[in-house]
Amino acid sequence: MSTNDIETTAADERVSVVVVAAQPVVRVGVRHLLDAQDGIRVVGDAPSTADAVVLLAELKPNVVVLDPDSDDPGLHSIAALAATGHSTILVFTAVSERATHSEAVALGAMGVVQKHQSAHSLRRAIDRVHAGEVWLDRQTTATLLRGLRKGSASDPEDAKIRSLTRRELEVIALIGIGLKNDAIATRLSISQATVRNHLTSILGKLDLSDRFELAFYAAGHGLVDEQDRMPRLRAPQSPTGQLATGIRTIGGRIHRLPADVAADFGVRRRLKR
């Protein structure tokens, strides 16, 4: 986390900017690019959401240029930064999917600039969002307007799911197909302690009590890759030739789980007794 050592006066009318990005080369590059622009002063940069929140409280910049193309900061960082109430959030991303751009705005961003666009585009976007306007391409704007018209038809769980990081979604998908922490750690090339930390965060965000409820939730909300599930969870058939499954009701819906997940849930229930 760093700040600009250039002294400014209270009469400085330039747009103050903080750059938030995980990669040092991105932070340095964006700072260099914006320092060359008249009317803009970069007052600091931060590598993570937590550092950025502290920096925003201290510097109160006009605009935050956020690169969400990593686990942290990610799209989930938008809500945390916007909640400080100090700055307007402008997303600077390599992702071109309009669904991601729409999600960024839904989380509190005022605009999206893609990394392949010119320095002039980034400068204009900063000026516009600082002036209270939205900086989006026409098609993304149209998508957002269609979503607003649908309004009440949206899933009430959408906001919770949007708060999950990319890595957390990967962990959920693997829990949904029945993998344990050690297998998940191997698959994602992370430690088991990191898997446990992700699981704790996930359960908190989704208001669930354990991994078994999470597995049902994942199945019910399309967070499991069915193509990944099928070859991994073929349980041996019972004497009657039926594939064992678990059935549980969550939120008024009946969900089924593969045999090995259901078996684990049964063991846990018996231990609790």
66-123 pLDDT, tens digit per residue, is: 999 999 999 999 999 998 888 999 999 999 888 888 889 888 999 999 999 999 999 9
Q: CA 132, CA 172: separation in Å to the nearest integer?
A: 37
Does the bond joining 156 to the residue before it have cis omega, within 30 degrees of 0? no
Q: Give me the pLDDT at residue 242, please.
A: 36
- pLDDT at 233 (0 to 100): 33
Q: What would the 3-class secondary structure string for 165-217 be?
A: CHHHHHHHHHHHCCCCHHHHHHHHCCCHHHHHHHHHHHHHHHCCCCHHHHHHH
Task: Write phi, then psi, for 113 (nearest 5 degrees).
Answer: -120, 130
Q: What domain count does the chain have? A: 2
Which of 268, 261, 266 has its CA nearest to residue 218? 261
pLDDT at 13: 87
pLDDT digits (tens, 9 = 90+) for 200-242: 999 999 989 888 889 888 887 888 865 554 333 333 333 333 3
Q: Which residues make beta-bridge pairs with 45?
A: 2, 19
Buried b / exposed e along 171-183 (16+ C-beta atoms within 10 A): bbbbbbbbbebee
Is residue 2 pLDDT above 60, yes or no?
Answer: yes
What's CA 199's distance to the chain center, in Å? Answer: 15
**pLDDT at 226 (0 to 100):** 52
Dihedral pair phi/psi, residue 204, rounded to 5°: -65, -45
Are residues 121 and 180 located together in one domain of the fold? no
Domain termination residue (choose one: 126, 150, 174): 150
The pLDDT of residue 245 is above 90: no
Dihedral sign for Cα atoms in the order 151, 157, 159, 162: negative
- Say which residues have a Cβ less than 8 Å from residue 121's Cβ, sequence separation at least 6: 113
Query: 254 and 186 in one domain?
Result: yes
Do 137 and 167 lie in one domain? The reply is: no
- Residue 132 DSSP class: T
Same domain, 195 and 233: yes
**Helix, strand or coil, per DSSP, at residue 251:** coil
Task: With a cut of 60, say whether residue 58 has pLDDT above it.
Answer: yes
Do 45 and 141 reside in the same domain of the chain? yes
| Whole-number pLDDT of residue 273 | 46
Statement to judge: residues 21 and 140 lie in one domain? yes
Asked whether residue 188 falls in the same domain as residue 258, the answer is yes
Highest mean pLDDT out of 1-10, 116-125, 256-265: 116-125
Q: Are residues 165 and 246 in the same domain?
A: yes
pLDDT tens sequence across 131-175: 988 898 877 766 666 655 555 455 567 888 888 998 999 999 999
Q: Is the pLDDT of residue 64 over 80?
A: yes
Q: Are residues 92 and 219 in the same domain?
A: no
- What is the model's pLDDT at position 255? 47
Report the CATH number at residue 216. 1.10.10.10
- Residue 200: which of 186, 214, 179 has the closest Cα? 214
Predicted pLDDT at 145: 61
The domain that contains 72 carries what CATH number? 3.40.50.2300
Question: Residue 28 pLDDT > 70, yes or no?
Answer: yes
Please tell me the predicted confidence (pLDDT) of residue 142.
Answer: 64
Task: State which residues form the domain around 137.
Answer: 2-150
Do 196 and 140 belong to one domain?
A: no
